[in-house]
Amino acid sequence: MKSIVIYVSKRGTTKESAEKIGNAIKADVIDVNEVKRVNLREYDKVIIGSYLYAGMIPGKMKKFISKNIELLKSKSVNFFVMGVGKPNEMLEIFKKQLPKELLDSDTMISHFGGELRMEKMNFLERFIIKKIQEKEQFNCGINEDAIKEFINGVI
């Protein structure tokens, strides 16, 4: 089976996780911005990785999924999401934004955690994060065990 990992990344954590998965399962790894160069019909298994930003899947990833929904329905499709927050809450927010047609009993959806890379944020983002942190602490960090478990599940 030929596999591909398609991801969208804002500050690097989703890309790094996509590359770990791709290396482990010997899959092609491509940014959603470059996916036009790929013939998805060549792949049996598609893994889609995204982050959540302000509780939303980025528009580029949503557009890719909706544009390719019929083709994706004929594939084995699994998802992972990155973001700081409680894993169960992040998964629920993510799942609600995915097309129901792609969610069957065999579909894996995992949350790998997230990091606040302040050095890659603009002034407004840093300001907002600092204000929020005054009231609540973020659950930060990449869950390497979740990545390994996901890899074992998609092999």
Q: For residue range 38-80, what is the model confidence (pLDDT) as tens digits? A: 899 999 999 999 999 878 999 999 999 999 999 999 999 999 9
User: For residue 148, is it within any domain?
Assistant: yes
- For residue 56, give the nearest of 6, 100, 10 by alpha carbon: 10
User: For residue 121, is it within any domain?
Assistant: no
> What residue numbers bound the domain in which 50 lies?
3-115+141-154
User: For residue 132, is it within any domain?
Assistant: no
Per-residue pLDDT tens digits for 88-139:
888 999 999 999 999 887 899 999 987 666 677 676 776 666 666 666 666 6
User: For residue 91, is it within any domain?
Assistant: yes
User: For residue 11, is it within any domain?
Assistant: yes
Contacts of 34 (CB under 8 A, 6+ apart): none
User: For residue 130, is it within any domain?
Assistant: no
Domain total for the chain? 1
User: For residue 127, is it within any domain?
Assistant: no
Angle 144-154/13-25 helices, nearest 10 degrees? 40
User: For residue 7, is it within any domain?
Assistant: yes
**Domain CATH number, residue 51:** 3.40.50.360
